[in-house]
Structure 1
Amino acid sequence: TISAMGHTTDTLLELSRQVSPDPNPRELDMLLSTGERISCALVAMAVHDLGHEAVSFTGSQAGILTDPVHTKAKIREITPVRVLEALDRERIVLVAGFQGFSRDTMDVTTLGRGGTDATAVALAAALGASCEIYSDVTGIFTADPRIVPQARKLPVVSYEEMLEMAASGAKVLMLRAVELARRQGVPIHARSTFSDEPGTWIADVAGMEAAIVSAVTHSEDEVLFALRGVPDQPGSAAAILEAVAANQVSVDTILQNVARGPAEISFSVPQEDVSATRRALARAQEALGAIEVEEISDLGKVSLVGAGMRSNPGVAARMFRTLADEDINLRLVSTSPIKITCLVARANVERAVRALHETFLERS
């Protein structure tokens, strides 16, 4: 599968905003899907000039069928009839990623963030093929090498760990692609476009001895929503989070604090989902009454990920001590069996990543 050329999607989004501050989702999908189509056609032309038979397909031509949700569609089914026919004729097949087709509405849809990677995994599963995903880095590292020069490349990462890394800021692979790969049992080889060296395999590695901490991940564009005056009654939190989910927003680091009287609920979302979250909370306020909403920006999150945390107590205490020694205040904390995430001021994110990498991956 082929993605759009660098900055093409951002350029198209900016064009749409020049025409309309709130573009119609259907027409936005029609516009955004052109980026991958351009790349696909150009690569096919280049392959032809190298003396090989190639054919490019749009998502709909390749049989990528989705639900009807514009800008964030999910793949329902792959019917790669034309792809298989072209492969049988020994043609190199190039498929435009990030897009599909909804039978419900007969419209073009786009898949949102991670759509091209998800397309590659879904096609690999449908074709019984291996999946290699190429980017500008040589694999998955113990931290972002731009922040931690001594970060090491990991030869193998489990699906479980990669899901947590992707959810907490690792940008080499997108969350939905890893979810799909685990569900379909498709190993992914994450490699560099510019190097022949082996990358990182993401696969089922059950039975292997797990590292306590495999990586430090981060994200620098988080916004915290603090809701005060939430009625202390069953269903209040559900009503708020259901309204947010209805806007296709996934929340992170949720905290509910109840003392006496009204409750307080806090959660973080990526910067790109702020507008949708505001709309959702406005509807929740109508349903639940006078809820006070505070919005805190200029935040980021740092996470430790490692399957070995399950059997090694004390990781959280050591993490908090490391950040305290750096005079970094924690705004919110969330945990899972193999991940600990702290919300901190954006200005402190890189310093936190370096300190945590030194503590858990250099001294250990």
Structure 2
Amino acid sequence: MPTLVMKFGGTSVANLDRIRRAAKRVGVEVAKGYDVIVIVSAMSGKTNELVGWVNETSPLFDAREYDAVVSSGENVTAGLMALTLQEMNIPARSWQGWQVPLLTNSAHSQARIEEIPTDNINAKFGEGMKVAVVAGFQGLTPEGRIATLGRGGSDTTAVAFAAAFDAERCDIYTDVDGVYTTDPRICAKAKKLDRIAFEEMLELASLGAKVLQTRSVELAMRYKVKLRVLSSFEEQSDEAGTLVCDEDEIMESNVVAGVAYSRDEVQMTARSVADRPGIAAIIFGTLSDAGVNVDMIVQDISEDGRTNMTFSLPVDQVSRAEKAMGAIKGTEINYDDLVTDTEVAKVSVVGIGMRSQSGVAAKMFKVLSDEGINIKVITTSEIKISVLVDRKYMELAVQALHDAFELDKAA
């Protein structure tokens, strides 16, 4: 039988009624002749509750025990989903990560998937099981311990299973009915896309769009897994949702596919840094060693042997960055001051059409200029342009760019 992977996020399995609704969707696919692998998240809010208990019990916790606790939410959902399917006379069985086994490395709380052997689940399919309900977000380390894949890891679990079992498709059920040109809460004209290329989705996910976890899109692109993003709360047709697929499967791409934003950004500037070879390597090597994720970087023109080094980073990593920079001041590098601006946001336009059409950056900058929005930092890639602006102008920037690139007409 062909295999289909269906993933249900926390809001889709938030209570027993929603689990029953999700189970009915699984039943529809079983009736079509699929062997189905269902990946489930913990019920909405449960992982946060479990993390809170860990922090309250042991602020400097053992990561191995953290994983043992926080992975339990998915186990509960998997068991309830299997029971619900059995009540519908659908042969189903729940699977925890170690039972598959989903094999990971030893990086607890941020584990990477190494391998998913298919023998155990395929053997059960051969014996008549129609649905394997797998607890997402978790796996088994070489030491035999439970490891979790990081927040949002159930998306990655689903794509990895789709790749391992050569599934026809991986359907991600969530609380939105697809991928939009931008956040509909910010821009009322945002439009759902029927299809989007892997590369575009990867950029949007990394730039703030929270529909799919970045790692899941990376995996899908690497293994050519067709992803479909669907709402678990609406009636579905075969053409529902948004298909994330290879660029070749899209007839004609718009120059810009979407506008993304992130309000959790900080701009940090080391002022009057001694400008000599190796300074950038010292600064950003130090920040990397401290676990700081630097994004946008700008270095001013050197004057009298001194320069300013500006970069952006997530707001929750500011104290870590300040501590790391303070540790090297006066020893490995010299700078006058470290200035932090927490009132900034990142706004980005993304589209594979940028490869073949010039003028996108000029148009973007003109639109922002016309709205009186000053650009602090700029970074680009082949299919993306990002700018850092004052946070108070973020929504205005998103709306203006969405209008300027006529994304309300996107197909």
Q: Tell me the TM-score normalized by structure 1.
A: 0.91
Give the Cα separation in 2 of the matches to 1:66 and 1:40. 20
Amino acid of the structure 1 residue aligned with 2:51: L
Aligned equivalent of 2:263, options 213, 217, 220: 220
Q: Which of 99, 106, 131 is equivalent to 1:68? A: 106
Write the letter of the residue equivalent to 1:160: E
**1:182-231 alpha-carbon deviations (Å, 9 max, x no partner):** 11111111111122141111111238433111111112211223234545
Structure 2 gaps, min length 5: 1-38
Q: Does residue 1:184 correspond to 2:223, yes or no? A: yes
Match of 1:235 in 2: 278
Whole-angstrom distance in 2 between the partners of 1:80 and 1:276: 42
Q: Distance in 2 between matches of 1:110 and 1:216?
A: 31
Alignment partner of 1:205 is 2:247: yes
**Which residue number corresponds to residue 106 of structure 1?**
144
Q: 1:39 to 1:279 in 2, by over 3 A?
A: farther
What does 1:8-47 align with in structure 2 at a 5 Å threshold? Answer: 8-47=46-85
How far apart in 1 are the matches of 2:155 and 2:245?
A: 15
Structure-to-structure mapping, 1:43-54, within 5 angstroms = 43-54=81-92
Q: How does 1:287-326 map to 2 (within 5 A)?
A: 288-291=332-335, 292-326=337-371
Checking the alignment, whether the CA contact within 8 Å between 2:189 and 2:408 is kept in structure 1 is: no
Distance 1:267 1:81, change over 3 A: farther
- Does structure 1 conserve the Cα–Cα contact (< 8 Å) formed by 2:190 and 2:408? no
Aligned-partner Cα distance in 1 for 2:89–2:299: 62
Find the aligned partners of 2:317 and 2:126 in 1 and give their Cα distance. Answer: 43
Q: 1:65 to 1:363 in 2, by over 3 A?
A: closer
Instruction: Please tell me whether the aligned partners of residues 152 and 213 of structure 2 are also in contact (alpha carbons under 8 angstroms).
Output: yes
Q: Which range moved further: 275-284 or 244-253?
A: 275-284
Q: Percent identity?
A: 40
Distance 1:141 1:277, change over 3 A: same
What whole-Å deviation, never above 9, does each CA across 1:94-152 have from its counterpart, x for those lacking one? 1111111211x332221113311111111111111121111111111111112222211
Q: Which moved more, 1:221-230 or 1:135-144?
A: 221-230
Of residues 170, 195, 220, the one that matches 2:209 is 170
Q: Is the 8 A contact 1:72 1:248 kept in 2?
A: no
The alpha-carbon deviation at position 304 of structure 1 amounts to 0.5
- Partners of 2:330 and 2:74 in 1: CA distance: 41
Does 1:264 find its partner at 2:264?
Answer: no
Once the 2 structures are TM-superposed, how far is the Cα of residue 363 of structure 1 from its aligned partner? 8.3
8 Å Cα contact 1:187-1:201 kept in structure 2: yes
Q: Does 1:193 align with 2:238?
A: no
Query: Partner amino acid for 2:382?
Result: P
The 1:306/1:16 distance shift into structure 2, 3 A limit, reads same
Within the candidate set 343, 356, 359, 2:401 is matched to 356
- Aligned amino acid, residue 261 of structure 2: H
Which residue matches 1:160? Answer: 199
Distance 1:293 1:17 in 2: 31
Deviations 1:268-315 (A, max 9, x none): 223344455456545655872455433322322111111111222221
- Contact preservation (8 Å) 2:255, 2:353: yes
Following superposition, the deviation at residue 56 of structure 1 comes to 1.4
Q: Does 1:125 align with 2:163?
A: yes
In 2 relative to 1, CA 362–61 (structure 1 residues): closer, same or farther, beyond 3 Å? closer
- Pairing 1:85–2:123 present: yes
Q: Which moved more, 1:339-348 or 1:352-361?
A: 339-348
Measured on the aligned residues, the alpha-carbon RMSD in Å equals 2.4
Cα distance in 2 for partners of 1:247, 1:26 equals: 21
State the alpha-carbon separation in 1 of the partners of residues 77 and 355 from structure 2.
44
Tell me the SS of whatever aligns to 2:97: coil
Q: What TM-score, normalized to structure 2?
A: 0.81
Alpha-carbon offset, residue 38 of structure 1: 1.9
Per mean C-alpha deviation after superposition, the further-off stretch among 113-122 and 243-252 is 243-252
1:275 and 1:119, CA in 2 relative to 1: closer, same or farther beyond 3 A?
Answer: farther
Identify unmatched segments of 5+ residues in structure 1. Answer: none
Displacement of 1:171: 1.0
Quick one: which amino acid aligns to residue 128 of structure 1?
Answer: D
- Count of paired positions: 363
How far apart, CA to CA, are the structure 1 residues paired with 2:372 and 2:381?
25
Contact 1:133 1:188 in 2 (8 A): yes
Of structures 1 and 2, the larger Rg is shown by 2
Mean Cα deviation higher: 204-213 or 326-335: 204-213
Q: Partners of 1:265 and 1:318 in 2: how far apart?
A: 27
Cα distance in 1, alignment partners of residues 68 and 273 from structure 2: 40
For 2:187, the aligned partner's letter is V
